[in-house]
Structure 1
Amino acid sequence: MNILLTGGAGFIGRWVLKRLLQDGHKVTVLDDLSNGREDNIEEFRAHEGLKQFIIGDIKDEALLEVLFAKESFDICYHLGASINVQDSIDDPRTTFNNDTVGTFYIMEQCRKHQVKVVFMSTCMVYDRCNDATGITEEHPIKPASPYAGAKIAAENMVLSYFFAYGLPTVVIRPFNTYGPFQKTGGEGGVVAIFIKNKLLGKDLNIYGEGTQTRDLLYVEDCARFVVEAGYSDQVNGQIVNAGLGRDISVNELAQLIAGDDSKIKHVTHIHPQSEIQKLLCNSQKAKRLLGWEPQVSLEEGIARTEAWIRTSHLIG
């Protein structure tokens, strides 16, 4: 197939690109590099399946019009977005424009050219989980940050194109994803930041009490889920979760990574109002409709991520 991948130079986008190329598709990557990095896709530059890498903005309607008219895409995997929860609280305008308005511009082109849309949403739209069986797609949502609010608005727009126009669309909500190529600085995920600080002999700082839990999904499992959602008609018009099905408190995660309580410190939370106390994924719908299940355990995923950080010139 001929595929458009927005945000393809980002952390998850890079792994989705790899999977799509392995599956033999032709892929155009569109990324403004606000979160992504050209280095992430350097190894694919010479791959015959990578048709083009365009540094551009999903809010550039003129660019999108030319691109869609020329390429005749079969699927658009729409991952391009502002993704930082704390940034969205400090600067909601940027997040809304990128995540909601930008998604609208993508949807209009996909409607015009009849292109299936796989929309990358987030588990951060959910209210806290009180159920031992985990969060299903019917679980209550709660926009605890402008990031979550923008994603919910975009989700509704994406699904409206399925119901109003019959356009094949699917909203996917992966839980907290981690692994190689994730940023290890302040914009990165908790696993990558903890591992880097451990390797540098620094403290692992935890916001608040550290009792909040996360369901951590290894990035290759996530990418497989994203790609499969595009291949299947079973999920059209649906919202689908993906996660490990096991949650761990941030305190326990720090202990697992550091192995040394003396290196674990608690600091004041910057934006405690955006915190979701418990996140645990129920992925039964993904299993039923896509045959998808996670394959990489948390311990194995952390080991792979640490090995990558050790050898990727991020330390020293």
Structure 2
Amino acid sequence: MISTPTDDGCYLVTGALGCIGAWMTRLLLQSGARVVALDAGTDDHRLKAALLDTSEARLERVVGDVTDLAQITEIITEHQVDAIIHLAALQVPSCQANPVLGAQVNVVGQMVMLEAARSLSSGRPLVYASSVGAYAPSGGKQGLADPPATFYGVYKRAGEQAAALYAKSFGVASIGIRPHTVYGPGRDFGVSAQPTFAVLAAAEGRPYHMPYGGDVQLQFVEDVAQSFVNASRSDYDGSCVVDLVGHSVTMSDVVDAITAAVPQSQGTITFDDVQLPFPTGLGTGESPFPRAADRSIADGMRATVAHAQRLHREALTGSGPLKGSS
């Protein structure tokens, strides 16, 4: 379990019903902070699952639209928000299916949050989620000289560039964070969610085949969430984007870690030896905030299985956040 310092501030977390947002909300609440959890949707299964053993007394949930500047400004004023962590975005499949909607949410939403950050009196930087998808598939720093491979990546690149201009033009501090392949409890959507699907299938005694393989850089969701929180608590004054990379492993390593966590799954988890069009081999680089230590893949897989098993037990007994489910 990650230990966080005491914090009585108020955080606006957009995309709070997503995987990273749910775990970030957990960490913030456990530190004593108030959280305004904003999301356009109402499906809260990830948030409920993440908030095991966590009091919701300081949590305010809001159904909202990140493209609506008037609404965001009103929320900031009403709740006396000290810091904004902006995660809300449509993922690769959704942007591919509807590029116009993807641009509205991912680009206009980013502009709205940058504008809203101008009203913060705390001086805290806007922390926002970019993505490794902002790179060209060739990877590395040189990958920024070439176009991304997806609409999603194009939108994320635009958001990074807009943040730099907001710092230059208006003095709005910001830290963009590019996670790579996030796995763990709640990671149930997106192209790179396969390692999580596989370990959960193993825990349930089911075989599973992942449609890609190659090299991946894995990072456990709680560790990623803690790095976002650390960034928001920094006094950084400027604009930067940080690659948040985890352990560089092969898909064979992933299967071995799953087998170690669930020995009875031996031989049931397979994959195609096809490399995803994401850059690999990215370095850590400089960071204006302390990064959370990335737990090992073996520890992360074990934690994922343990969390899933606990949710299942509590659902069966009717005592947990998913009571009544099967």
With normalisation by structure 1, the TM-score equals: 0.81
1:115-155 CA-to-partner distances (Å, cap 9, x unmatched) read 6311111112223467xxxx469865641111111111112
Counterpart contact for 1:119–1:158, Cα < 8 Å: no
Q: Distance in 2 between matches of 1:198 and 1:263?
A: 7
Aligned to 2:129: 120
Counterpart contact for 1:243–1:294, Cα < 8 Å: no
CA pair 137-223 structure 1, distance change in 2 beyond 3 A:
farther
CA pair 265-297 structure 1, distance change in 2 beyond 3 A:
closer
Aligned to 1:86: 93
Aligned to 1:204: 208
Match of 1:264 among 267, 270, 278: 270
Match of 2:175 among 170, 175, 185: 170
Counterpart contact for 1:9–1:40, Cα < 8 Å: no
Query: What letter matches 1:75 in structure 2?
Result: A
Q: Give, in angstroms, the shift of residue 159 of structure 1.
A: 2.1
Match of 1:56 among 55, 61, 64: 64
SS of the equivalent of 1:312 reads: helix
Aligned to 1:106: 113
Counterpart contact for 1:198–1:257, Cα < 8 Å: yes
Match of 1:194 among 174, 195, 198: 198
Q: Distance in 2 between matches of 1:262 and 1:101?
A: 44
Counterpart contact for 1:11–1:36, Cα < 8 Å: no
SS of the equivalent of 2:286 reads: helix
Aligned to 1:226: 228
Match of 1:161 among 161, 166, 174: 166
1:58-98 CA-to-partner distances (Å, cap 9, x unmatched) read 12334223213323322110011112x23322222222211
Aligned to 1:16: 24
CA pair 12-189 structure 1, distance change in 2 beyond 3 A:
same
Query: What letter matches 2:105 in structure 1?
Result: N
Q: Give, in angstroms, the shift of residue 4 of structure 1.
A: 0.9
Counterpart contact for 2:198–2:269, Cα < 8 Å: no
Match of 1:236 among 226, 230, 238: 238
RMSD of aligned residue pairs (Cα, Å)? 3.1
Farther off after superposition, 297-306 or 199-208: 199-208
